[in-house]
Amino acid sequence: MKKLALILLLLGSAALPAAAPGAGCRPLDCAPSGAALGHDLYAVRPNGVFGEVVVDDVRTGRPRYMLPQGIVGGHLLVHQEQGGDGLTWFDAYTGRQVAAASGPGFGQLSLTGVSQDGTRAVLFRSTKAQSRFAIVAARAPTRIVALPSENWGFDTLAGSKLYLLHYMKNGYEVRLYDLARNRLVARPLKDPHESSLIWGTAWSRVTSPDGRYVFTLYLGQDGGAMVHELDVRRATARCVELAGSGDFNLGTTYTMQLSPNGKTLWAVSPGFGRVIGIDVASAKVRVAFRFRAASRIAESPSAPVSDISASGRFVAAAVGGSVWVVDTQRQTVRRLSNHAATAVVFAPDGSHLWLAHGTRLTTLRL
C-alpha cells in the first residue's frame, strides 16, 4: 500500500473508486469479464459486470442459456427491474428464476451489490445528507442502514457483516457495519503493518468459491500494484505489494486467479512480465518469477481476462490480442499470439482453452 500514489477520490454511489483519468472503463465496471460457476459452467459477461450473462458449458463449448443484466454472488444472479420496484433471483446452474422480492421505493435505489452467497441484494442511494443501504432477501424483512453524508459505498456482505467503503479527503477506508448489533464498528479494517487509508484505483476483484476471501487489485498512478486480501469471516485485512512500477498502463495488465484448493492467489502481468504466487493463509508472496514482457500492449489501459486449470497448475491470461499460458510448477510462460478474447476458459481436462468473443466460443489447443 505504501507504493501506491493517490489517483482519484470518488464521492457518491459507486461501489468502488473509479479508474484514473484516461483509464477508460475498468474491469470492475464494464469491461468484458467471466467467472467459473462450478458444475462445468462458466459465466461470460460480454458487456461487463453489470451486463447480460451468458452461461457456457466448458465441456462442449456451447452456451447453455442467457441471464438478464445483474450481479452474481455464488451461483445466483440478482436482477433489478429497470425503473421498477422488483428484484429477481436466478439460479445460474439451471437458468431458472428461483425467488423474487419487491417493495415500495426499491425503484428509487440502485442495485449496487449482493451478499457473498447471492441470497441478499444490496440497494443503495445517496444524497448530500445521507447514504442509504437496503438489504433485501426474498423471504425476510428488508433491513435499512443509513449513515450520515454521501461519502459511503458498498464493498461486500457476509452474514451479519456489512463491509463498506468510507471515502475521505486523501483516500478511503474499509469499515465494518455490524448488522447483529446495528452499529458501525469504530475502527477501520487495516493491515497491522499499514495505514488504514487506501490510495489508488480498485481495478479488479476475485472472490474465493466459499465466499470467505475477497481479493481486490489496486493500482497506483505509477503502475505500482497491491492486492488487498479481505477475510470476511474474521473481519481482517492484509495488503500484499506486487512487483513492477513506472507505467500505469503496464500495471493494468495484472490479472488474478485463485487456485482450486484456495491456498494460492496467482497474479500475472504480461505488461511487466511477472508471475506472483501469494500464500492466502499468510498473505505473503510465496513464488515470484519473470517472463518476457509484452511492451506493445502498454499504449492504453488494459482489461485482461484469465482462468486457472482444474489442476491449479496452469493459468491463462489474455490481453492485447495474445494469450499467455503460465506453468506454475515449471515456472515457464508461453505466449500464443493473434488470439483476442473477451474471456478464456480451460476445458475440464486442461487440454485446450475456450476463447470467448462475445457469445461465441472458439478452441485453442494447448
Instruction: Please tell me the predicted confidence (pLDDT) of residue 338.
Output: 86
Candidate CATH numbers 3.40.50.300, 2.60.120.260, 3.30.420.40, 2.130.10.10; the one for domain 33-365? 2.130.10.10
Residues 273 and 270: their CA atoms lie apart, in Å, by: 5
CB 299 within 8 A of CB 249: yes
pLDDT (average), residues 196-222? 89
Torsion of CA 148, 227, 203, 257, to 10 degrees: -130
Instruction: Please tell me the predicted confidence (pLDDT) of residue 22.
Output: 31
| 165 CB burial (10 A radius; 0-12, 13-18, 19+) | buried
Question: pLDDT digit string (tens) for 13-45?
Answer: 233 333 333 334 466 665 667 788 888 898 888
pLDDT (average), residues 330-335? 97
**120 to each of 42, 64, 155, how far by Cα in Å?**
22, 25, 14
Instruction: Please tell me the predicted confidence (pLDDT) of residue 32.
Output: 64
Question: pLDDT digit string (tens) for 56-114?
Answer: 898 888 889 999 999 889 999 999 988 778 999 999 999 999 999 998 889 899 999 99
Domain boundaries, the chain: 33-365
CB 275 within 8 A of CB 289: yes
CB 253 within 8 A of CB 269: yes
Question: pLDDT digit string (tens) for 253-268?
Answer: 999 999 999 999 999 9
Lowest mean pLDDT among 19-28, 244-253, 321-330, 355-364: 19-28
Instruction: Please tell me the predicted confidence (pLDDT) of residue 274.
Output: 97
Instruction: Please tell me the predicted confidence (pLDDT) of residue 27.
Output: 63
| 363 CB burial (10 A radius; 0-12, 13-18, 19+) | exposed
Q: Report whether pLDDT(176) > 80.
A: yes
348 in helix, strand or coil? coil
Q: Which of the four pLDDT bands, split at 50, 70 and 90, describes residue 171?
A: confident
Instruction: Please tell me the predicted confidence (pLDDT) of residue 50.
Output: 66
Q: Which of the four pLDDT bands, split at 50, 70 and 90, describes residue 199?
A: confident
